[in-house]
Chains A and B, each alone.
Chain A
């Protein structure tokens, strides 16, 4: 199967309907708490649905290994995927190469100064320094979705790696200062959501398209 050289992003607003998942996934869902079970079933169902359309494979036959809390894997050379969700939407990233994605609601309320003071670099804090509360919150969220997406790319751990990922070059680069790893970074605002995307700096193929679609 050959694919276009692109990174594809799907934003799927959550609806109440659960889409089909495999028996194995149903079994996994049964062992989770009610809230996590619902979230797991919903996200895996939508993931299979979206990939089935793009890959032209029946949803339940997609060779997907995506246990809860672990990076999802697509087998048989069908590409790389990354997942993220917030309370009302799922973000699916697909590429032929490794990538990381993160989504948050644009209006997400949180103590931005607390996060920045504890986890951000001196340079990042300097960038935020004179901003009013709303601009500060918005930019910390921008940093956050890029850093989270970088941690997903790295298959790292938030509490260990958050401090080591720095976002530079006007939010176009993410660097891990211990691993000496640099990633290209993109930030998008799409309807109600803020989206972070990171992928390898050394990818030689040109990125032709970055598509964001919502399925209603």
Chain B
């Protein structure tokens, strides 16, 4: 709940700055800080002090693009106080702002309202515009970083000439972005292509992105996409998947199958075969007790059961016969959590697998 110590330091700094920001910046911008003005689409000042506190907490240093406000023409600002002392003070703080927003992560710059402002009685808002001062911002036109835009992410995923850094960013931020139903086919194709191209990479950053792509891809699969997913499991004659990628593939398809809307998600024989091979290869005491292999096996077995693969009983029996009590206990409970959300034949079949898993333990007891 409470953030890390670095966040506490940031909170303290924000508090200090909000105390210092009791000055009016309004007369300074047009002839004074062109870099900030050029980058800022609009600069907004809250109407009252409580809103100002809220905005400084949001914007600095974490940033927010949700703040709105009214705007006034920039010529309103002429005639503001221009004493040399204030200029020096403004310059210092605006340079701080400048360095914070060098990467332009937000188009907003907060300008404080001062008790000494000559405009205090009239308005609480100033507008220093790089754009048309008559332009009133609204929700549809509010600038958003492309990494939070589903369309922009897709454009970069699909673009043949997308720079590598942007393609990685597109994959990473796709994981936490919602895509409307009409965009999902493009999303699935884009992510499948990325996974296909980079699943054997040994580069850590790429492996991380492939993991994110796999999770998002799997969670947005439709029943007709299973063969494409299955293909990702396959090694070639010269390359094999890393343990990390295998884990994500097994885990994510398990998540998706558990949420499948229909009992008909069991027609991909390639997916059944791939998962069966994976689970079969790793079902040994020596491997299960090593890093991540237990997770791979558990997720693969759950997926195999949900797909009602032909060899599911055999594999569940082998898992039970390993006599790794913590493993079969955890697997059984995870299977039960999934079964509770199913209905009809899927639920009863998974229940039967759970009983099979627990049988030797019960017999010994």
A and B found bound together = no
A residues in contact (CB < 8 Å) with B:
none
B residues in contact (CB < 8 Å) with A:
none
